[in-house]
Amino acid sequence: MAKRSDIKNANIKDVAKYAGVSIATVSRVLGGKPHVRNELKDRVYKAVQTLNYNPNRVARSLRSQTSSVIGLIISDIQNSFFNPVVRAIEDIALENGYAVFLCNSDEDTEKELLYLNLLKSEKVAGVILTPARENANSCSNLIAAGIPVVAVDRRVPDIEVDTVLTNNIPASQQLVNELISRGHKRISAVLSDITITTGRERFEGYKLALAEAGIDFRQDLVRSGLPKEEDGYLSTLDLLEAKQKPSAIFTGNKLISLGALRAIYEKKLKIPEDIAFA
């Protein structure tokens, strides 16, 4: 068996020889074709890694008129919520012969559009994305090009795409109800902007809980911004420095919560003695 150091610029024949399989088998494995035994797949993948083989993806795609790459656009890679999401997508993609091209839009619609156009030009097999905003135009070109799209965590309006969501409205309503059950009436909400699905729907759940409890909604108790730690920090700081402080704070996502907790700590407040938090 050839050693890695023995071969430079390995080609598909070298991979087949190293793995002890035919060139056709290597092609089927790398092309994500079905009906290849797992044992043979493992040998091919090991040979590819050992020989540092880099197949000409573009040429292969042109020959087969298909791509074995899935584009994945995450709205904020620093948000740990997406870590297991990315891992699960990559694992399932690899099991089915696909590679994942990961992009981070950083909640920036222009950056998101740049990546979408790039993935379209690459003729990827499909795109999975967390939209930076509820903007149908961002995906319309992909749909027109026949590239499948799946939205995760947030909706794409006015376009029929498969979407994976959490139950934002009932979940946020339940959290606010818990605060109300503990006697709180001045409950602030620090949320993502309402142009983001999670921000809008969690805002709806917040208002529903107040309405059902007979508590008047007050706009001055609400702050919104990007779903980032710094926005959560500044918004919470603003609330805590108001003349009439809230007795409880409801936050819209993990990063906003981290920022809010930093502001509460900075103000030397204790949870739940000085302020309740959910």
Q: Quick one: pLDDT at residue 62? A: 45
pTM above 0.75? no
Q: Quick one: pLDDT at residue 23? A: 84
Is it the case that residue 55 has pLDDT exceeding 80? Answer: no
Torsion of CA 140, 145, 148, 152, to 10 degrees: -30
What average pLDDT does this structure show over 65-72?
82
Q: Quick one: pLDDT at residue 223? A: 97
pLDDT band at 58 (very low <50, low <70, confident <90, very high): very low
**The listed CATH number (3.40.50.2300, 1.10.3720.10, 1.20.1370.20, 1.10.1240.10) that belongs to domain 64-164:** 3.40.50.2300
Domain 168-277 has CATH 3.40.50.1260: no
32: left (phi over 0), alpha (psi -120 to 50) or beta: left
Instruction: Report d(CA 6, CA 97) in Å as an integer.
Output: 28
| Annotated domain spans of the chain | 4-55, 64-164, 168-277
Share of the chain above pLDDT 70, in %: 90
Beta bridge partners of 72: 102, 128
Q: Which two tokens stand for residue 108?
A: 């920036």
pLDDT band at 255 (very low <50, low <70, confident <90, very high): very high
pLDDT tens column, 181-217: 999 999 999 999 988 889 999 999 999 999 999 999 9
266 CA to centre of own chain: 30
pLDDT tens column, 233-243: 999 999 999 99
Share of the chain above pLDDT 90, in %: 58
173 in Cβ contact with 208 (< 8 Å): yes
Stronger pLDDT, 136 or 259, i.e. the higher one: 259
Single-letter amino acid code for the residue at 2: A
Q: What does CATH list as the number for 4-55? A: 1.10.260.40
Q: What is the DSSP string of the chain?
A: ---GGG-SS--HHHHHHHHTS-HHHHHHHHTT-SS--HHHHHHHHHHHHHHT----HHHHHHHHT---EEEEEES-TT-TTHHHHHHHHHHHHHHTT-EEEEEE-TT-HHHHHHHHHHHHHTT-SEEEE--SSS-THHHHHHHHTT--EEEESS--TTS--EEE---HHHHHHHHHHHHHHTT--SEEEEEE-TTSHHHHHHHHHHHHHHHHTTPPP-GGGEEEE-SSHHHHHHHHHHHHTSSS--SEEEESSHHHHHHHHHHHHHTT--TTTT-EE-
44 in Cβ contact with 22 (< 8 Å): no
pLDDT band at 102 (very low <50, low <70, confident <90, very high): very high
74: left (phi over 0), alpha (psi -120 to 50) or beta: beta
Q: Quick one: pLDDT at residue 5? A: 41
Is it the case that residue 28 has pLDDT exceeding 90? Answer: no
Is it the case that residue 141 has pLDDT exceeding 50? Answer: yes
Q: Quick one: pLDDT at residue 7? A: 62
pLDDT band at 11 (very low <50, low <70, confident <90, very high): confident
- Determine whether 245 is exposed, middle or buried from the number of CB atoms within 10 Å of its CB (0-12, 13-18, 19+): middle
What average pLDDT does this structure show over 110-129?
91
Given the structure tokens 């020889």, which residue do they identify?
17
Asked if the domains 4-55 and 64-164 are classified in one and the same CATH topology, the answer is no
- Determine whether 250 is exposed, middle or buried from the number of CB atoms within 10 Å of its CB (0-12, 13-18, 19+): buried
Residue 93 phi, psi (nearest 5): -60, -45
